[in-house]
Amino acid sequence: MKVEIALLLLLLLAGLGCVQGETGAGTTETVAADKAREFNKIESRIAEKAIDGDTILLQNGERLRLIGLDAPEKGEDCWLEARDRLHELVAGKSLVLERDASERDKYGRLVRFVYANGQFVNLAMVEEGLAKAFAFEPDISKAAEFEKAEARASRGKGCIWKKPVE
């Protein structure tokens, strides 16, 4: 009996959705297309290693640039700390990758938001003071989150926010 009620409710809700969707904007087809586009923004890859504090080498040989941040370059203060922390967060792990507006940057790297073991890696690098927030058009959907994280981190003791000893 419970199964029949659940199926009936499911059919009723599906029917309401179809009737509601037939009115134009927000049609069932449009809603389905929007859901498909969102789904296509998510993919999974395995990380080989961190190249620096904002770039990952994937096991398939592709390079991936983290969206929303800028980490120190090789030879700059905190470069090693940023690279090592990113490596710790991603190396050998299965990553969930979320695309924003762009597929690749001008250097041919994938550009993505990265999640490892449920942690938002891009944001963690900024929160831990190992990178600065960096909004680069058109991939700015989470720019406000990164700016807030940087403001909090700049009051902390993350590597890039330490005051030089005089």
> What confidence tier does 31 reach under pLDDT thresholds 50, 70, 90?
low
Could you confirm whether 99 is annotated as catalytic?
A: no
Residues in CB range of 19: below 8 A, 6 or more apart: none
The catalytically annotated residue of 22, 29, 38, 73 is: 73
Could you tell me if 18 and 31 are in contact, meaning their C-beta atoms sit under 8 angstroms apart? no
Query: Is 65 a residue of the active site?
Result: yes
Model pTM score: 0.76
Structure tokens at 37: 């586009």
Q: Determine the average pLDDT of the residues in 19-30.
A: 47
Could you confirm whether 112 is annotated as catalytic? no
- Token pair listed for 75: 């030879």
Fold topology of 42-161: OB fold (Dihydrolipoamide Acetyltransferase, E2P) (2.40.50)
Per-domain residue ranges of the chain: 2-39, 42-161
Residue 8 has pLDDT above 60, yes or no: no
Q: Which of 65, 83, 85, 112 is catalytic?
A: 65
